Amino acid sequence: MSRSFLRDTDFSPAEAAEVFALASRYKKLRASGIIDILRGESWGLLFFKKSTRTRLSFEVGVHELGGHPVMMNASELQISRGETIEDTARIMGRFLHGIVIRTFGQEIVDEFARASGLPVVNALTDLLHPCQSYTDMFTMMERFGGSSPSAEALKGRKLAFFGDTACNMAYSLALAGAMFGVEVSLCGPEEFKPAAILNKLFEDARLAPTWTFTSDPEAASRGADVLYTDVWVSMGKEDEKAERIKIMSPYQVNERLFSLAKKGAVFMHCLPAHSGEEVSEGVLRGDRSIVFDQAENRLHVQKAIISKLVQENGGKSS
Ligand code: CP
Ligand code: NVA
């Protein structure tokens, strides 16, 4: 089985720091053209859920690494007519050199990695969104790291996450934050507080669970370097929309909450945003918002993640 990136902790902090250093190089060198790490390779991009940033950044990224991206919507494959994940994965293992997957259950990416034998990248599951959390750490590193940013710049930073603290972004930020010494405060209603699975993820990775939970948004904002939010209604939770909006409305990131944060604090959001729900229009579009840098950095960081996997799997990825 090849090495994959299915959970935030699948790279050690030292390896993740190498990913960030490579992402910085890719960002600087982007104009100088194609890198041939994936020359002759075809990487599948398999999506069971909708996407704008992830789809685009992986398609462009695989191309810029010299490979051929093969975009697949699960609804157009035989898997939507009952072909098993195991058989689909085994077939992909015969054609492709790696697979990027956005899907529902975490067990689906695990099964693809096992049955295909290929390196698999988790491009969001219901449980985790590790490509986004790595990008967020990288973006914070750039923002707080001065002229030669390194992962050291993350140590002791305070990130407050507001809203649905039982969602994939909250869990991935808790994990990635702990890897880099970022103090992550998850803040939202008790009804959507983190489930026991979050501590199980820490336990499995032998990582100390450094995250905290509060339902008090003012307490979470005070002294924070980053105010972060995500949609209140994640993909697949549409049936709970009315209830979620009602319960989460006290957790909107707005100017009042921002006034309690540290001077120089920034606003982050994985996007897509629902202005007027989880974030006010003023904060989303204001000069403290770095959401478009975050979005751009998906490209550089994911190219580095793929490159690191290829290197760890012994050069060419099969
Ligand atoms: N942030 C993120 O993953 O965006 P998409 O859903 O558009 O891919
Ligand atoms: N929590 C969101 C993230 C979107 C990038 C979702 O799963 O829909």
pLDDT in tens, 270-293: 999 999 999 999 999 999 999 999
Q: Nearest ligand to the C-alpha of residue 132? A: 1
Burial of 50 (0-12, 13-18, 19+ CB in 10 A): exposed
Read off the pLDDT of residues 114-157 as tens digits, 9 standing for 90 and up: 999 999 999 999 999 999 999 999 999 999 998 888 899 999 99
How far, in Å, CA of 161 to CA of 184, rounded?
Answer: 7
CA of 54 to the centre of ligand 1 (A): 5
105, amino acid identity:
G
Across residues 13-23, what is the average pLDDT?
A: 97
The burial class, CB within 10 Å (0-12 / 13-18 / 19+), for 212 is: middle
- Considering only CA atoms, which residue is closest to atom 3 of ligand 1? 54
* pLDDT score of 147: 81
User: Atom of ligand 1 at shortest distance to CA of 124?
Assistant: 3
**Measuring CA to CA, which residue among 30, 7, 293, 22 is closest to residue 178?**
7
Rounded to the nearest whole angstrom, what is the distance from the C-alpha of residue 33 to the centroid of ligand 2?
32
**In the structure, what pLDDT confidence band is assigned to residue 257 with cuts at 50, 70 and 90?**
very high
Quick one: pLDDT at residue 317?
46
Which atom of ligand 2 is nearest the CA belonging to 132? 5
Buried b (16+ CB within 10 A) or exposed e, 256-283: ebbebbeeebbbbbbbebeeebbbbeeb
User: Would you say the CB of residue 102 lies under 6 angstroms from ligand 1?
Assistant: no
**What size, in residues, is the chain?**
318
What is the structure's pLDDT at 194? 98
The tokens for 74 are 């699960």
Q: Which ligand sits closest to the CA of 298?
A: 1
Q: Return the ligand 1 atom nearest residue 55 CA.
A: 8
Q: Is the pTM of this model over 0.85?
A: yes
Ligand 1 pocket check for 53: Cβ under 6 Å: yes
Q: Is 210 exposed, middle or buried (0-12, 13-18, 19+ CB in 10 A)?
A: middle
Of 228, 92, 218, the C-alpha closest to 161 is 228
279 by DSSP, 3-state: which?
strand
> Please, are residues 161 and 140 in contact by the beta-carbon 8 Å criterion?
no
Pocket lining: 172 vs ligand 1, CB cutoff 6 Å: no
The Cα–Cα gap between 223 and 201 comes to 28
Distance CA 79, CA 227 (A): 39
In terms of Cα–Cα distance, which of 113, 101, 93, 38 is closest to 72? 101
Could you tell me the pLDDT band of residue 316, with boundaries at 50, 70 and 90?
low
CA distance 38 to 306: 9
Examine the pLDDT at 164 and tell me if it is beyond 80: yes
Of ligand 1's atoms, which has the minimum distance to the CA of residue 235?
Answer: 6
**What is the predicted pLDDT for the residue at 318?**
44
Quick check: CB of 254 below 6 Å from ligand 1?
A: no
51 lines ligand 1 (CB under 6 A): yes
Closest residue CA from atom 4 of ligand 1: 53
Exposure pattern of 78-102 as b/e (b: 16+ CB <10 Å)? ebeeeeebeebbeebbeebbbbbbb
CA of 274 to the centre of ligand 1 (A): 13
Mean pLDDT (the chain, rounded)? 97
State residue 213 phi and psi, 5-degree precision.
Answer: -125, 140
What value does the mean pLDDT take over residues 205-226?
A: 98
127 lines ligand 2 (CB under 6 A): no
Q: In testing the pocket of ligand 1, which one of 45, 51, 297 has its CB within 8 Å of the most ligand atoms?
A: 51
Beta carbons of 293 and 142 less than 8 angstroms apart:
yes
Q: What is the DSSP letter of 65?
A: T
Residue nearest to atom 7 of ligand 1 (CA): 52
Residue 47 banded pLDDT, cuts 50, 70, 90: very high
Q: Which ligand is nearest to the CA of 123?
A: 1
Q: Is 100 in the pocket of ligand 1 (CB under 6 A)?
A: no
